[in-house]
Every structure is written in structure tokens, then in C-alpha cells.
Structure 1
Amino acid sequence: MLPGAQLWVHEPDVPGESTLSTAAIAAPILAEGEDSSGFHAPGIEEFFPAALFGSTDLGSFWGFDRIMLVRFIVVAILLLLLWLATRKSSLVPSRGQSIVELGVQFVRVQIGEQILGKERARPYLGMLTVIFFTVLAMNLAGVVPFLNIAGTSRVGLPLVLALWVFFVYLAAGVRKHGIGKYLKSQLFPPGIPWPAYILITPIEALQVFVLRPATLTIRLLANMMAGHLMLVLCFAATNFLLLEGGGLIKITGLLAFAGGIFITLFEVFVALLQAYIFTLLSAIYVNFALEEEH
């Protein structure tokens, strides 16, 4: 009998010792069998890249990573394009000026005036326009080569925009109705029996103060995260199947590449749609605050 062979037949005194011993022996074998060059599916770590400067740890005072760099680049490009398109405005607009004016008019007419009315929309058109162009530009960064990730795919920016909308519609309601009348109109819907307020009022409070900003944030964030993961999955699979696959397996790499192209085009549509939805809901929430009843 080889030395140490008794480990395999020894009855453990401690329950579970046999399982732990087997796992300890198998672990290095499994580790040796892992192929570090194999296919690695994308995960949540895609949205927490290593810091370029400082540290991104929760306990760190300051850190700067690739997603923050993408946000700065997008803002710079957006401001530059807007300046180039409008610096020589004329009655006969250039192509760039026409595109910008089309976007501004879309926000003003199709969102602001349609939801709030022509007069009531005027004070909020600036906010709605900034939100629309910012969300659209940050979303489109996810399909731009060398950027390859949306600035809205991490919670910070969507949350900041949602809180902006939150404080604006609270201020709008208080300014128009006064704090008491505003809270009454929002938390005590008219036309229902008073005992029902025991159930309805907490739900309305949750909706006004929590759910509206939360759903604005989560809807945008979840769509951008899902789109990025799908793109990375398709193109990572393309690279792996074409370079590592053999024989007919390489054909599936072409299918993965075609899927990546389709998802890229779909992500452009989603970027436009999410910018529209975020801006539309912002206008709706402001309108709720200004209405006597909702």
C-alpha cells in the first residue's frame, strides 16, 4: 500500500470531512484543467473597470476610470458639435443647424408642448432639451468605436438626471400650489371614500417621492447595461469561434458576427427610444405636479 493511501478509506470523525478532503484534492486538478485563453462571458465587471487615476474602491476619496473618461469625451464632443452647428446661425440653415433645430423642435413640440401645453412648457424646455441630448449622446457612445460603452450604463449619471427631474417637479408643484395644497393634491386623490386614504396615501407618497425617480434611473440603466452585455457577448463569441474554433465551428462565428451587427443597429434604436422615454416621463411628472388633480 502506498503511503497516504489510507486517506481514501479512512472514516472521518468529523461529518463532512471526506467531502472537504475530496474537494481539496480536486481543486488543483480543476485549476490545472482551466484554459485561460478560452471564452470568457461578459459580466458585471464590465461596468467597473480599473481606475485610470486614483482608486475606484468604495472607501477611496477620488477615482477616474474608463466610463468616466467616456462621459467627459461625450460631453466635449456634444458641446463641440452644437457649437459648430449653431455658431453661424442663419435663416437658411446649414445641414448641422438643421439637425440641431430638428432635435430642439422635436423636444419642444412633440414632448414639451404636447404634454404640458404651449405656455406651461416654456419654463421647462431648457431642462427637457438638455436631458434629451445628453441621454441620447451618452447612449450612443455604446456603439461608437473606441468608446464602446454607454455613459448611462452605470447608475451615477441616470441617477443625477432623475434627481434633477425630481427636484424640478417638486419645486414646480410647491411654487404653483403651495406646499400644503400640493401635498394634498398628490397624496389625497379626490373622489374616493376617506377610509381608502389609509391605503392610498402611503402608495401615492411612495410613488411621488421614490418610484418616479427610481424608475427613471432603473429603466435607462437596465437597458444600457443589457445592450452592452449583448454586444460584448456577440463580438467576444465571434473572436473566440473564428480564432479558436475548428472546422464547421468557424461558421457559427460568422453567425455571431451577424448577430453583433444586428444588435448594434438595434442599440442605436434603443438609444433614441430611451432618450425619448426619459424626456417624455420627465415632462409627464412635471405636468402631474402642475395639475390640480392626477
Structure 2
Amino acid sequence: MTQAANLLAHAAADGEFHPPSIDDFFPAGLLFAGTPFEITRINLAQFLATAVLVVILVLGTRRMAVVPGRFQSVVEMGMLFVRDTFAHNILGRKDGDRFLPLLMTMFFMILFMNLTGIIPGINIAGTSVIAVPLLLAVVSYVAFIYAGLKRSPGGFIRNSLFPPGVPPFLYIIVTPLEFLSTFIIRPVTLTLRLLMNMIVGHLMLVLFFSATQFFLFTMGGLWSLLSVGTLAFGFVFTLFEVLVAVLQAYVFTVLTAVYIQLAVAEEH
């Protein structure tokens, strides 16, 4: 792994172990360094995830057959999962079909960018810098506002800030809380939840594998026995990161669908 190799080189130079740090998420530019178009290792991970996703979807859908082959079946299963789980089950068939392209794109984009964090040589998720989670949160927020205004232009904002059934004298307390909860906290929590999970996952993986190399190659002797434990933890945590990658894509998409459903609910 690239980051583990860098840490090993530093350890070999001074005989000390250097754990991963937040600096991992500010890598040096690989192309166009020093310009607004600078491309780093994280950008390459994002490009790779996007390219692989596009290729899979194109190849899986360009020659659709009534009796699908294995590859088409896998692609269809993924699409049906998103449609049934996020769109139809939460939004209903009519609204679900309207927002299905958004939910489909969001789920698979997050999933594939998350999974770059466990690929050797890349070892960092495309969603581990704030730009991607923030962009997705803004898209989710805009979809929520659009859905509410489209369904009830005159009542969406009013009912969001002044919930029906609440005594008017309580609005002085309820309205600021509703504003913060609905229009501020939602996009912030969407951003931070995804970002922090991917940051922590990267730091833990690099910690385990770089510790393995440090004990095995730098310390040597009986210290090498410790590398067995750190290597085992590294592999176990890699499997856990696969689960986290899927779970975070699921959570982000399902929350987006729920927010849209709340916006188009009848009371608005």
C-alpha cells in the first residue's frame, strides 16, 4: 500500500514508527501541480471509481436480453435493489420513479468511491475529502427543497417552520429549532457522517499495515511476532471497511429518500 510504504521508508530512516495522520488527505499534486486543475492521488481514485462504474453500467445494459446473462443479472439486481429499497418503498411508485435517477446515481457513486479505500496501491476513499460528501449533501438538500416546493409551493416552508398542531405561543421556541434541524443540520450531518467514516477507515487500515511492516522489517527479531497480529487485524478491518463502504452508501441514500418523502408528504 502506497501510504504504508511511505511510512516504512520514514521508519527505516530514523528507526521510529510514524503513524498515519490527517496529512494523508492532503497529498502532493501528481499532475498540474500548483494550478486550479491540480490532480492528486485522491482525485485519481475518484476518476477510477467513476470510470469503473460507467463501464460496468454500460456493459451491463447495452445489450439487454429477456433472459439475462450473469453479468446483466448482477447489474439488474443492483438497480432493482436501489429502486425497491430507496425509491418505491420510501417514496412510493410515482415519486420514486421521479427521483430514481438521483438515488441510483447517489448510491452507486458513493459505494464505488468508498471501495477505493481498500484497493492496494490506492488505499484511500474518493469520499474521504470533504468536497465529495459536501457536494452530495448539497444535491440531497436541493432535491429536498425542490420536492417540497414542487408539491406545495405555498405551504412547504410554512409547515416546515411552523408545524401544524403546535400552539402558536410555542413557535418562538419550535421555529428556530425546526429551521436548524431541517435546513442546517441535515446537510451538515450527511456530509460529516460519510466523511468521518471514510477518514477513520483509511487511518485504521494504514495504521495496521504500516505497523505490520514496521515490526517485520524495521524492528525484526521477536518483534516480528507482533506483525502477525497487526496483519490479522488489518485483514479483518479490511473486510469491515467493505461493510462500512456499503453501509455508508445505504445510509446516505436512504436518508436522502426519507428527506424527499418528508418534503412531499401530504401535510406540506
TM norm structure 1: 0.84
Q: Partner of 2:97 in structure 1?
A: 122
| Pairing of 1:70-85 with structure 2 (within 5 A) | 70-85=45-60
Task: Judge conservation of contact 2:118–2:238 (CA < 8 Å) in 1.
Answer: yes
**Whole-angstrom distance in 2 between the partners of 1:66 and 1:246:** 31
1:53 equivalenced with 2:31 (yes/no):
yes
**Partner in structure 2 of residue 232 of structure 1:** 206
After TM superposition, which residue ranges in structure 1, 4 or more long, deviate above 3 angstroms? Answer: none
- 1:182 is the counterpart of 2:160: no
**Once the 2 structures are TM-superposed, how far is the Cα of residue 94 of structure 1 from its aligned partner?**
1.4
Distance in 2 (CA, whole Å) between partners of 1:185 and 1:174 is: 11
Q: Which of the pair has more CA radius of gyration? A: 1
C-alpha distance in 1, partners of 2:161/2:26?
Answer: 39
SS at match of 1:63: coil
Within 1, Cα distance between the matches of 2:219 and 2:121? 26
Specify the alignment match of 2:132 in structure 1.
157
Q: Distance in 1 between matches of 2:86 and 2:23?
A: 36
- The runs of 5 or more residues in structure 2 that have no matched partner are 1-11
The within-5 A match list for 1:114-263 is 114-178=89-153, 180-263=154-237
Deviation at 1:175, TM superposition (A): 1.1
Secondary structure in 2 matching 1:117: helix
**Over the residues paired in the alignment, what is the CA RMSD in angstroms?**
1.6
Deviations 1:177-235 (A, max 9, x none): 01x31111111111121121111111111122211111111100010000000000000
Unmatched segments (≥5 aa) in structure 1: 1-33
Q: Is the 2:15–2:218 Cα contact (8 Å) retained in structure 1? A: no
Cα deviation digits, residues 93-145 of structure 1 (max 9, x gap): 11111111111111111111111111221100010000011000000111112
Q: Which AA in structure 1 matches 2:163?
A: P
**8 Å CA contact 1:227, 1:267 repeated in 2:** yes
Question: How many Å separate the matches in 1 of 2:73 and 2:181?
Answer: 39
Letter in 1 for 2:213: N
Count of matched residue pairs: 257
Q: Do the aligned residues in 2 keep the contact of 1:54 with 1:64 (CA within 8 Å)? A: yes
- 3-state SS, counterpart of residue 51 of structure 1: coil
Corresponding residue number in structure 1 for 2:77: 102
Q: Secondary structure at the match of 2:30?
A: strand
Equivalent position SS for 2:155: helix
C-alpha distance in 2, partners of 1:83/1:122?
21
- Asked which structure has the greater RCO (Cα within 8 Å, sep 6+), the reply is 2
Distance 1:110 1:74 in 2: 23
Letter in 2 for 1:258: A
Equivalent residue letter for 1:257: L
